[in-house]
Structure 1
Amino acid sequence: MSTATARYAGNLRTEATHLASGNTILTDAPVDNHGRGEAFSPTDLVCSALGSCMMTIMGIVAARQDVDLTGVTWEVTKHMVAEPRRIGQIDLTFRLPATLSEKERASLENAARTCPVALSLNPEIRQEVRFLYE
């Protein structure tokens, strides 16, 4: 069974629908590539998916350890390269509770770095991940 359906909406925009939930995602080409930048670009979604996947896998590990990560935040920055136009680097910064033990920190960081999206991205895409404990 398919995961999603999508359609080209014109003007460099797409709309994808997740079949199981009915949720939709709109994309727009970025301003620096002929778009209006009024929604996530496809490459923004790739970078955001990396952060979301890392957080999801950390959440699974945290639940096993009876650790609550509710409220953890992260920022993602995408760096494009020109020839050929592609994602060159993804910077992620996670802000986690300072109360986590060294053992919890190590297991969460390992979980993040080995999430399915991180392991699926082309190895030429540099992944710079920072964990701040505040």
Structure 2
Amino acid sequence: MPTIKSSYLGNLRTQMKHLQSGTEVITDAPIDNNGKGEAFSPTDLVAAALGSCMVTIMGIVAERDGLQMEGLTWEVTKVMNPHPRKIAEIIVEFHWENAPEDEKMLQKLKNAAKTCPVALSLDPELKQTVIFNF
């Protein structure tokens, strides 16, 4: 059974529907690639997926160990390579002002982030820069 059903809406825009939840996502080509830039581009979603996957796996580890991760935020920067056009680097920067002082736990969370399924699925040539501000 499919996970996602998608359609092309024209003008370099797509619509995707997650079949289990009914959640919909629209993509638009970026301005620098003939689009309007009015929604996430497909490559934006790849970059966003990396950060979200990292936090999801960190959250699984944290919950298992009884740790709450409220207050954790992150920013994702996507760097494109012009020729051939592809993602050259994804920078994920985490901020957590009220992080626990348990260095062993923090290292466990960092290791979890770096080994999330999306991180492991991306091409090894795609540079993943991860900055932990905690």
| TM-score of the superposed pair, with normalisation by structure 1 | 0.97
Q: Does the CA-based 8 Å contact 2:16-2:26 persist in structure 1?
A: yes
Deviation at 1:128, TM superposition (A): 0.2
Partner in structure 2 of residue 12 of structure 1: 12
Task: Report the aligned-residue RMSD.
Answer: 0.8
What amino acid is the match of 1:26?
Answer: I
User: How big is the shift at 1:67?
Assistant: 0.4
Partner of 2:122: 121
- Distance in 1 (alpha carbons) for counterparts of 2:30 and 2:70: 31
Superposition pairs for residues 1-134 of structure 1, below 5 Å? 1-96=1-96, 97-133=98-134
- Distance in 2, matches of 1:27 and 1:71, equals 29
Q: Deviations over 1:101-133 (max 9, x none)?
A: 101110000000000000000011000000102
- Structure 1, unpaired ranges of 5+: none
1:83 to partner: Cα distance: 1.4
SS of alignment partner, residue 22 of structure 1: coil
Give the aligned length.
133
TM-score if structure 2 supplies the norm length? 0.97
Structure 2: gaps (5+ residues): none
The code of the aligned residue for 2:89 comes to Q
1:7/1:100 CA distance change after superposition, 3 Å: farther
Q: Counterparts of 2:108 and 2:101 in 1: how far apart (Å)?
A: 11
**How has the CA–CA distance of structure 1 residues 98 and 33 changed in structure 2, closer, same or farther, with 3 Å as cutoff?**
same
State the SS of the aligned residue for 2:44: helix
Measured in 2, the distance between the counterparts of 1:127 and 1:2 equals: 29
Separation of aligned partners in 2, 1:35 and 1:120: 27
Identity over aligned pairs, percent: 57
The AA in structure 1 aligned to 2:59 is G
Q: How far apart in 2 are the matches of 1:57 and 1:100? A: 20
